[in-house]
A and B are shown apart, each in its own frame.
Chain A
Amino acid sequence: MTKRKMKIFGMAMTGVLALSLSACGGGGTTNNAAGGSGSDPAASGGDSASGEKVTITFQNIYPDASDPKNKMMKKIVDQYQKDNPNVTIELDSLNTDQQKLKLKTQAASKEVPDITVVNPAAQMQPFVDADLFAPLNDMVEENGLKDTFQSGILDYYTFDNNLYALPDGNNIGVVYYNKKLMQEGGVEVPTTFEEMVAAVKTLKEKGIQPMVIGEKDSWTGSFLFMNILLRTNGGPGFLQEVLDGKKTFEDPAYVEAITAFQQLVDAGAFQDGATSFDYNAGENLFKTGTAAMYFMGSWATGGIETAEVSKDGNVGVFQFPTVGGKGNPDEFMLAPGSAFAISKDSKHLEETKDFLNYFMLNFPKEAFDVKGAVGIAQNVDGDFKAAGYSEMAMNVLDLFKKVKGGDLAFDNTMNPATTQVHLSGTQSLFVEKKDPAAVAKELQAAYEENK
């Protein structure tokens, strides 16, 4: 190659490099001009009954056409459009992860869709702080919508007495178990954590996989861990007390929970390589009947119900037991679901509110009809048994009736940065023998750093 050719070649290389760099920088570049949150308080809306053509964008997380929720949503939307010919509802259906990313990008450029989906409490706090959502206080009173919601559930979406979102679900953490495998292993449903560890050992000896978990998505292990903490703390509110400065993560309750969790791991409760299984892969192990027990939120009920393993009522549920004699099994991990919020800058605020009101009013009935009413946030009229809900679904519903409070998942209470440290700390318990006190200390340091 001559000198000149080399030069051209060098330039080409620079081009390649620069192009690839643009991929590098992608993470941090979706933002534009920060700050300046308070755009004028949306005097938009227009006349709601003017008959003017209106298009509402409805971002949602029901993308799967085979999912009953998707059909249900389309049915309600179609009905509304028929009743209000001037309104067009545009669906933007995404899966959960995509939606989270898309909303963050949209929020950064202040282009939040008319209706979007957020998660409760601490997770929606940044969006509320950035003043992106319209308060729904007046709207929820209309047509008696507020009374359809279970008492207390709306609190998780309320900030400074303003309600900003309406939830589609309300779930609790339960343990599903495979009756046949439990019988083969000769173990009973455990009523204490110690029995649970013993049952795990017995099952393991008989060559039965005691429990499964999809720990690649580290929230799964955290959800279980938090339930243990709910017990060792003797009741709910540990994280709140940390936030209030009354406790630290080095509190005995937290350390004890880590120790208990390690016992479970050491007893060989979880499948080999658990940290490389994502949520779906982990759940599939239970659904295909390879494991005896599975701790998960009650949202898994629908999927497990229709799986092979549930044939002949083979799957049961039980409450997470006491740990070291502490705690009350009637206190559950609470998982208020994702919720619909309305953009403050929506061009058609009134119409959007009217539609969401209609949507949520019809939600429970339609969900009931497609057998999706276990774990929704609203009260349902109707006889579940007569409607053909399975025995396991009925058991889950019975557990709902027992709920006497509980805790939210870690990420719904703490800021994202602390959450990540907690998640990876919990994940490390699956693969390494660590000193519980050290794990707790590391988390406390991270919490103070990111307070």
Chain B
Amino acid sequence: MNVLKVSRWTIAAFILPCLIVYVGLVFVPILVSLYSGLLDWNGIGQSTFIGLENYVKMFTRDAVFWPAVRRTFTLAGFSMLVQVPVALTVAILITRFVRRPNFLVSSYFLPVILSVAIIGQLWKTIYNPASMGGMINQILTSVGLESWTHSWLTEPKIAIYAIILVSLWQYLGYHILIQFTGIQNIPSEIYEAAKIDGADGFKADRYITLPMVLPILKISIVLSFIGSLQSFDLIMVMTGGGPAHATEVLASHMYNMSFLTMQYGYGSAIANVLIVMCLVATVLINLLFTRMEKRYS
């Protein structure tokens, strides 16, 4: 502490503003939300303390809750197990084969900076029935696969996957960028040394790139997981959770409960479950990666 030769008070004075903002905007709301999760409250009038009744209702009687959890984790699974590996592969290929990669990486990144509302509208048009000019169905029809056409966003069994695809597409560039940067930071001497030892191509990827990019991969995985848990905007724009809750995820269910059905207490309870899930998952992912890193270091 004394290296900086300033008093503890000065340090405290400089930390304080940030700390207050942080606590006020992060911890206090979470605490308030924990409390209101125990209330039967419509957000306006009188509230009644009902203990854990909201949670009992959520886990036992709410017909939408568990399917929403399942869909949330499906999305997270696709995101972690498909999107991130694909992004890693693309990043490796770009680094190896493309001499001026910036243009390509920027292009992949483009959907990320577009507003979700635009993405949603764009893909809605692509998914539309052929009679409304939907691109996918028109292509399928024109190559003679008419039996494959669906009304993608309105068939309850398919709709959620249609949305997942869009979400994967949108954030692919984001993860490519992260991992591309990570790979760039690996010193080229290592590859050269490996080359002399006879490790080239995929062998080099397996024994050099993968271990060295692991910390970055962890960022990607955590971000994609938390992002999936919170996915909300895309679903709101494309289906609004419909048809008949077929695309409802936890975040949208929480929104519906708090704002549309005016059960703030219940909505808060769902929010708390979401918080716990985020925390637990992050800890788990961290553990997993620490173990993997140990193995390689």
What chain A residues lie within 8 Å of B156 (beta carbons)? Answer: 428, 431-432
Is the CB of B168 closer than 8 A to any CB of chain A? no
CB < 8 Å neighbour of A28 from B154, B246, B268, B278: B268
Which of B151, B222, B293 contacts A17 (CB under 8 A)? B222
B184 within 8 Å of A (CB atoms): no
Q: Is the CB of A417 within 8 A of B282?
A: no
The complex places the Cα of A32 from the Cα of B278 at a distance, in Å, of 24
Chain A residues in contact with chain B, CB under 8 A? 1, 6, 9-10, 13-14, 16-32, 34-35, 37, 101, 104, 107-108, 126-127, 129-130, 132, 215-218, 271-276, 278, 416-417, 419-420, 424-425, 427-428, 430-432, 449
Interface residues of B in 206-235 (CB under 8 A from A): 215, 219, 222-223, 226-227, 229-230
A273 touches B46 (CB 8 A): no
B47 near A35 with CB under 8 A, answer yes
B167 proximal to A (CB < 8 A): no
15 A–B pairs (Cβ distance < 8 Å), ordered by A: A20-B226, A20-B230, A27-B258, A28-B32, A28-B267, A29-B36, A130-B46, A272-B129, A276-B127, A276-B239, A278-B240, A416-B261, A416-B262, A427-B242, A428-B243
Task: Tell me the total A-B contact number using a CB cutoff of 8 A.
Answer: 189
Query: Which residues in B have their C-beta under 8 angstroms from that of A24?
Result: 229-230, 251, 271, 274-275, 278
Instruction: Identify 17 new A-B residue pairs, CB closer than 8 A, beyond the known A271-B132, A427-B244.
Output: A16-B223, A20-B227, A22-B30, A27-B258, A28-B271, A37-B45, A127-B44, A216-B239, A273-B132, A275-B242, A275-B243, A416-B260, A427-B243, A431-B154, A431-B156, A432-B243, A449-B61
B61: chain A residues within 8 A (beta carbon): 449
Do B243 and A431 touch across chains, with their CB atoms under 8 A apart?
yes
Q: Known: A28-B267, A104-B259. Is A431-B244 also a contact (CB below 8 A)?
A: yes
Determine if B172 is an interface residue (Cβ-Cβ < 8 Å): no
Report the nearest B residue to A431, measured CB to CB.
B243
Q: Is the CB of B242 within 8 A of A13?
A: no
Q: Does B254 contact A (CB under 8 A)?
A: yes
Q: Which chain B residues border A130 with CB–CB below 8 Å?
A: 44-46
- Closest Cβ–Cβ distance, residue B268 to chain A (whole Å): 3
Residues of A within 8 A of B41 (CB): 31, 34
Chain A residue nearest to B259 (CB atoms) is: A101
Across the interface, which residues of A come within 8 angstroms of B246, CB to CB?
431
- Chain B positions 10 through 29: 1 when the CB is less than 8 Å from some CB of chain A, otherwise 0: 00000000000000011001
Query: Complex: how many Å from CA A34 to CA B282?
Result: 33
In the complex where A17-B278, A273-B128, A273-B153 touch, is A31 in contact with B264 (Cβ < 8 A)? yes
Given A22-B26, A34-B39, decide whether A126 and B44 contact each other with a Cβ distance below 8 A. Answer: yes
> Which residues of the other chain, B, contact A129 by a CB distance below 8 angstroms?
44-46
In the bound complex, residues from chain A placing their C-beta under 8 Å from that of B33 are: 25, 28-29
Contacts A273-B129, A431-B243, A449-B61: A22 and B25 contacting too (C-beta < 8 A)? Answer: yes
A270 to B: closest C-beta gap in Å: 11
Let me know if B32 and A13 touch, CB within 8 A: no
Closest B residue to A106 using CB positions = B44
How many Å lie between the Cα of A273 and that of B242 in the bound state? 11
Nearest residue (CB) in B for A105 is B43
A104 and B44 contact, CB distance less than 8 A: yes
- With A13-B222, A28-B33, A28-B268 as contacts: A420 and B261 at CB distance below 8 Å: yes
